[in-house]
Structure 1
Amino acid sequence: MTKTSHVLVLAIAFGLALQNARAAPPQQPRPEIFTDLLKCRDIAMDSQRLACFDRQVADMQAASDRDEVVILDKAELHKTRRTLFGFSFPKLPFLDGDDDAKKEEEGFSRIQTTIASVKNLGYGKWQIQLEDGAQWMTTEPIIRRTPKAGMTIEIRRASMGSFMGKIEDDRAVRMKRVG
């Protein structure tokens, strides 16, 4: 084989590997307690299948009571994402979901809420508590209007991991999540 043939074979092999990697995205492994529950469906005899389901559901309930298993529906997941908006975390598989849903979710790229309280930090900077308890701080001064409890605020993701906050009709200022 010539050097050109080796390069061609390597390129084809790489292309096939890349295509296979795109075609089948890796799935998150499911907890054993859940897969054991699913295995009960494969039992043919009704009484044994029911006994298996009863046993596995009892195990799952006990694990849930010990906080070893947490079950979230989409609404609860959305609420959790919204609560954590503004914090930097490593990629957590249980918060990911599919990319299209994340792009569409209002709570993922921006939040719009009401200011619960404000604290003057001096030099035109403010610490702002939102109605859900989240604490944000302006990193540049607010010049035109003093923020007050009851005003609406919209905080959105900006470039390079930063956030911009706009209080009512004032100009947007850089902000960071502090609590």
Structure 2
Amino acid sequence: MTIKRAPFMTVSATITLCLFLQPVHAAPKRQQPRPEIFTDLLQCRAIADNAQRLACFDRQVGAMEAAAQRDEVVVLDKGELSKTRKTLFGFSFPKLPFLGGADGDDQKDRQEDGFSQITAKIASVRSLGYGKWQIGLDDGAQWITTEAIVAGNPKVGQDIELKRAAMGSFMGKVDGGRAVRMKRVG
């Protein structure tokens, strides 16, 4: 493909244009490697002899139970994972596969599981002066407003809606009021 540079375009603008015209190939989602203790359990299914297969299952389930008691293996269902993600909402973490982040993670995935916003009850409030507040949620999370709330003070028991905003920031609305910028502090 040949692109003629217009007289008003700089070299860097031409390079940028060429990059946009390149075909885009979506990277396939990689499945995360499973723990060895789990794959060993799955390999028991391949044993043809019933007695040996049962012995293998008993041995591997015992090993998995012992690992769980030592907190080396944790098993979460989708509901528990969703609760965990909700309690971590507002913190900045790398994309961890066990929290739902992986290559190809997009905004639609986050919105479907409630990760782009949460609604909670206010459990505590503390004035920081100048219309700014520290707000404790019912799940223990602590947030501060980084701009003043001008219409009414937040109160214990009110609902607060927190949403992901541009460039890693968050917006919060207390009882449907005006949205203000907020930051998770604990």
Query: TM-score surpassing 0.5?
Result: yes
Q: TM-score range by the shorter chain?
A: 0.7 to 0.9
Which of the residues 106, 120, 125 maps onto 1:118?
Answer: 125
> What's the Cα RMSD here?
1.8
Letter in 1 for 2:173: K
Q: 1:70 aligns with which of 74, 90, 114?
A: 74
Residue type at the aligned position of 1:102: R
Unaligned runs of 5+ in 1: 1-14
Q: Which one of the candidate residues 16, 30, 33 is aligned to 2:34?
A: 30
Share of identical aligned residues, percent? 68
> What is the TM-score when the length of structure 1 is the normalising length?
0.84
| Correspondence list, 1:100-111, <5 A | 101-106=109-114, 108-111=115-118
Question: What CA deviation, in whole Å up to 9, does each residue of 1:116-157 have, x standing for no partner?
Answer: 110000111000001111100000001110111011110100
Contact in 1 for aligned 2:111/2:117 (Cα 8 Å)? no
**What is the rounded CA distance, in whole Å, between the counterparts of 2:110 and 2:64 in structure 1?**
29
Using the TM superposition, give the Cα deviation of residue 101 of structure 1 relative to its aligned residue in structure 2, in angstroms: 4.4
Matching residue's letter, 2:39: T
Post-superposition Cα deviations, 1:73-95, rounded to whole Å, max 9, x if no partner, equal: 00000000000000000111101
Which TM-score applies when normalising by structure 2?
0.81
> Which residue of structure 1 aligns with residue 173 of structure 2?
166
Unaligned runs of 5+ in 2: 1-22
Aligned mate of 1:154, from 133, 157, 161: 161
